[in-house]
Chains A and B, each alone.
Chain A
Amino acid sequence: MLSLAGTLAVWTALVAAGWLAVAGWRAARDPVAPSASIVSLRRSVLVMVLAALGAMVVLEAALLANDFTVSYVANHHSRHTPFPFNIATAWAALEGSIVLWGLVLAAYAYAVWRRATARGAQPDSLDWGALAAIGAVGVFFFGLMVTVANPFEVCTEAAARSCTASSPLPFSRAVGPADGLGPNPLLQNHLLMAIHPPLLYLGYVGLTVPFAYGISALALRRSGPAWLRRSGLWTRVAWVFLTAGITLGAWWAYEVLGWGGYWAWDPVENASFMPWLVATAFLHSSLVQERRGMLEAWNFVLVIGAFSLTILGTFLTRSGVIASVHSFTQSAIGPALLGFLVVVTVGSFALFASRAQQISSPPRLESLSSREGGFLLNNLLLTVYAMVVLTGTLYPLALEAFTGSEVGVGRPFFDRMAVPISFALLLAMGIGPALPWRVARARVVWPRVHLPLQIALAAGVLVIITATRVGYVVMAVIAGSWVVAVAAGRLLSQARRSARSRGANAWRMIPGVVRSDRGFWGGQLAHAGVALAAVAIACTANLSQSLDRVEMAPGDRVEFAGYELVHTGVSTTRTPNRLKSTAHVEVWKDERIEGLAEPALSRFETSALPIATPGIHHTLAQDLYLSVTRIDEEAITLRAATAPLQWVLWLGGLTCAGGGLYSLAGRKRRRSGSVRPAVGARPGG
């Protein structure tokens, strides 16, 4: 029954997406779009979003009803999967994650539609063209769902705990195992797993919208500020989700994976980081086009690049092509995604090349030392950064394919390349906001950065005297405080100026100043978040202490990093699908018990190796991170590490996303009033 409902929903969504592509294109091509084709557009958007929602609801229903005749449920769910992981199972495996993808894409199509037809908005052929492009992307993803990644196949042959053969025909004779294996044990360990993937998808899939506007503008030969403003808005939306999703993903890795880190530069992480870098570059370079009419061609490259990288990332992580040598997952989705990647990239860049003559904007940069020069530097650094990640991720594959020679590229390479680029970015963030547009004169810029520089150096001196002389940490503190101080200085001086003109107290003017340019101040808040994150990363990477595996019998004590750790015993809990052994470790400091950490090992009946869950003792200064590699009644093998200022990283990431969110809050107001101010720039700030 549910297979039938799900299959119907997916087919409906597929047809609606195709219809949207056709109707959108026809409406866009018509100079005065007739109301009939607009009505047709609206219907197709509504049908697509309702059908995609229906597919997700049916999948959830099948999971909650333990309907093991549905192949996805049989292979990825178990009766014993607890709430909320039974809900999250819907996107914990390949086919279900494509359903989520389709739903998010349809939701974005609906949001684009709403925005384009909102009261006061001028309906524009650009919007119809973008909807058509979204529809075309939808055809691909819903097409996956009815072919190679069909979650609603009927299980026709069942083994004890899984489905061994299934049929896409919903009327096939259904058999189902009595119970399934359940999702990957790693994915049912922490609440963050339930919210991190949807957030990441909202960001990842959201990059389809700016891409769609870019394609629409290219196809309709409508270069200029209209597409840019729309792409900028939707990039911000996607970027906020992507930033939050990446942060929560790192947090999840830290809380769950038990190795004490949060970022390993593995392909899955790189796949989300590359589009983030490119989207961040676009957020900045779009401002240059908005203010100065420059870099339009580059902006097209960035929106196409960001979207292509999301497809590349999906291919890399879903096809199994890059997983370690021993685990090839054979799935037909690999070639399909690869084909789509080629179509998207080659097609979009061919379209771009064919229009290049019309969109090339004249060079009009007066000086490199100017706000737009700062944005150029930022774009250059972010592009090089993305290139480093891309090259490092793909190089082993390419080398092996072309020469048969093998090479591994991992953390040491990425760290070595990323650290200098990140410092350069921090410095650019410190100086950029202080530069005026067009030409920056030293006598204007120096007063704006001098006091912040003193404050930053003083912060560095304070760190050296009170805490540490480790170079990276001190430099991160200096660079980070400089970024924050420059922004704060700009805020204060603008508030003072506005206070002077109105004869009011400067402090009371701050909210008004911030509200008057949410885009800029949201950006500064995001910069502050990056600065916080940079300091936290430098601290955790350089100041962490660790204790390698020690054997501890119950009652044993061990001293570590000023703490005394006491192993008080082991308890075992058995739930239907797992056996969890928890070590109870008291954390003592200065003859006083400070807390209790409970690292654990879980053995799932369905999985080979035990899954380690760390026990973390959180304090303001640092986390004490305990994990066990072995638990017995007689003894445990304990590892311990400190993670200084770890929480600041989560704070920084979320502040960064919050800055983007704040800049969005003010978009509507700015949009109506602002026209392309190519000449006669305002005073910088």
Chain B
Amino acid sequence: MADPAGRRSLFGWVSPLLTLALAAFVVVSLTTADPVDRDRAERIGKQVRCPACEGESIAESPSSYAADMMGYVREMIGEGRSDQQILDRLMAAYPRSQMLDPPFQTRTALLWALPAAVLVTGLFLAFFRLRKPVPPESTGEAP
């Protein structure tokens, strides 16, 4: 903007190229990075609300009851059970509200649909209701 016009034209094509190169480097590095390897017990524990505390999952809670539940999870992992089997056994006597990750089912459909409905309604209003009926040609906006 404040650059003399000559300098701008000289670097006019270098600069976008640099942007592209940087972006390409980032994209390639991120797509080829190894996925973060999370402990399986921790992954399971994060889906279970600690019954003896408030809010936290058993993987995070410092309470000794949560520690016992995590110990049980590890023991079942050692027995070679699947994630679902482990959760089923661990939570057999607990209400489903103790699970932190809601399943994708018809009974939970509204949970995802309501925010999506707000998004769609908002986009609709922005595109079709709020705009001037006749888009004006150049309004003479200065930078």
Of B42, B102, B115, which contacts A408 at CB under 8 A?
A: B102
Q: Does A365 interact with chain B (Cβ within 8 Å)?
A: yes
Bin chain A's interface residue count.
Answer: 35 or more
Q: Does A82 interact with chain B (Cβ within 8 Å)?
A: no
The A600-625 residues at the B interface (CB cut-off 8 A) are: 609, 612
Please give, as numbers and ranges, the residues of chain A lying within 8 Å of B26 by CB-CB distance.
457, 460-461, 464, 474, 478
Of A261, A406, A447, A546, which contacts B1 at CB under 8 A?
A: A447
Q: How far is the CB of A682 from chain B (nearest CB, A)?
A: 10
**Given A399-B107, A407-B108, A454-B19, residue A387 in contact with residue B118 (CB < 8 A):** yes
Q: Does B63 interact with chain A (Cβ within 8 Å)?
A: yes
Contact call B118/A411, Cβ cutoff below 8 A: no
Please give, as numbers and ranges, the residues of chain B lying within 8 Å of A367 by CB-CB distance.
131, 135
**Given A441-B141, A496-B2, A549-B67, residue A409 in contact with residue B127 (CB < 8 A):** no
The distance in angstroms between the C-alpha atoms of A418 and B102, with both chains bound, is: 15
Q: How many A-B residue pairs have CB under 8 A?
A: 197
Q: Does A413 interact with chain B (Cβ within 8 Å)?
A: yes
Q: Does A65 interact with chain B (Cβ within 8 Å)?
A: no
Q: How far is the CB of A459 from chain B (nearest CB, A)?
A: 10
Contact call A408/B64, Cβ cutoff below 8 A: no
Of B15, B52, B102, B143, which contacts A609 at CB under 8 A?
A: B52
The distance in angstroms between the C-alpha atoms of A460 and B127, with both chains bound, is: 34
Q: How far is the CB of B122 from chain A (nearest CB, A)?
A: 4
Please give, as numbers and ranges, the residues of chain A lying within 8 Å of B46 by CB-CB distance.
411-412
Please give, as numbers and ranges, the residues of chain B lying within 8 Å of A410 by CB-CB distance.
49, 55, 57, 99-101
Contact call B96/A407, Cβ cutoff below 8 A: yes
Identity of the chain A residue whose Cβ is nearest the Cβ of B95 in the assembled complex: A406
Contact call B97/A368, Cβ cutoff below 8 A: no
Contact call B33/A470, Cβ cutoff below 8 A: yes
Please give, as numbers and ranges, the residues of chain B lying within 8 Å of A637 by CB-CB distance.
67
The A360-408 residues at the B interface (CB cut-off 8 A) are: 363-368, 373, 376-377, 379-380, 383-384, 387-388, 391-392, 395-396, 399-400, 403, 405-408
Contact call B19/A391, Cβ cutoff below 8 A: no
Please give, as numbers and ranges, the residues of chain B lying within 8 Å of A400 by CB-CB distance.
97
For A515-557 the 0/1 string (1 means CB < 8 A from B) is 0000000000000000000000000001000101100000000
- Which of A367, A407, A470 is most buried by chain B, counting CB atoms within 10 A of its CB? A407
Q: Does B139 interact with chain A (Cβ within 8 Å)?
A: yes
Of B30, B67, B111, B130, which contacts A474 at CB under 8 A?
A: B30
Q: Does B7 interact with chain A (Cβ within 8 Å)?
A: no
Contact call A407/B60, Cβ cutoff below 8 A: no
Q: How far is the CB of B88 from chain A (nearest CB, A)?
A: 15
Contact call A629/B118, Cβ cutoff below 8 A: no
The distance in angstroms between the C-alpha atoms of A417 and B55, with both chains bound, is: 18
Contact call B36/A411, Cβ cutoff below 8 A: no
Q: Does A488 interact with chain B (Cβ within 8 Å)?
A: no
Residues of A within 8 A of B (CB): 257-261, 264-266, 269, 294-295, 323-325, 363-368, 373, 376-377, 379-380, 383-384, 387-388, 391-392, 395-396, 399-400, 403, 405-413, 417, 436-441, 444, 447-448, 450, 453-454, 457-458, 460-461, 464, 469-471, 474-475, 478, 493, 496-497, 500, 542, 546, 548-549, 609, 612, 627-630, 637, 639, 683-684
Please give, as numbers and ranges, the residues of chain B lying within 8 Å of A440 by CB-CB distance.
141
Contact call B15/A413, Cβ cutoff below 8 A: no
Contact call B115/A388, Cβ cutoff below 8 A: yes
**Given A439-B141, A470-B36, residue A405 in contact with residue B22 (CB < 8 A):** no
Contact call A407/B102, Cβ cutoff below 8 A: yes
Contact call B60/A391, Cβ cutoff below 8 A: no
- Going nearest first, the 4 A-B pairs with the smallest beta carbon separation are A410-B100, A266-B55, A457-B22, A469-B33
The distance in angstroms between the C-alpha atoms of A439 and B123, with both chains bound, is: 19
Please give, as numbers and ranges, the residues of chain A lying within 8 Å of B47 by CB-CB distance.
412
Q: Does B79 interact with chain A (Cβ within 8 Å)?
A: no
**Given A258-B62, A630-B64, residue A450 in contact with residue B129 (CB < 8 A):** no
Please give, as numbers and ranges, the residues of chain A lying within 8 Å of B103 by CB-CB distance.
407
Identity of the chain B residue whose Cβ is nearest the Cβ of A682 in the assembled complex: B142
25 A-B interface contacts by CB (under 8 A): A363-B132, A366-B136, A383-B122, A384-B118, A391-B111, A395-B108, A395-B111, A405-B107, A407-B99, A408-B100, A409-B111, A410-B100, A411-B46, A411-B57, A412-B47, A448-B1, A457-B23, A464-B30, A474-B29, A475-B30, A500-B2, A609-B52, A609-B63, A628-B62, A639-B62
- Which of B97, B122, B136 is most buried by chain A, counting CB atoms within 10 A of its CB? B97
Identity of the chain B residue whose Cβ is nearest the Cβ of A599 in the assembled complex: B62
Q: Does B10 interact with chain A (Cβ within 8 Å)?
A: no
The distance in angstroms between the C-alpha atoms of A454 and B26, with both chains bound, is: 12
The distance in angstroms between the C-alpha atoms of A629 and B62, with both chains bound, is: 6
Of A325, A365, A384, A627, which contacts B132 at CB under 8 A?
A: A365
**Given A261-B60, A366-B135, A384-B122, residue A444 in contact with residue B96 (CB < 8 A):** no
Contact call B62/A259, Cβ cutoff below 8 A: yes
Please give, as numbers and ranges, the residues of chain A lying within 8 Å of B101 by CB-CB distance.
408, 410, 412-413
Identity of the chain B residue whose Cβ is nearest the Cβ of A388 in the assembled complex: B115
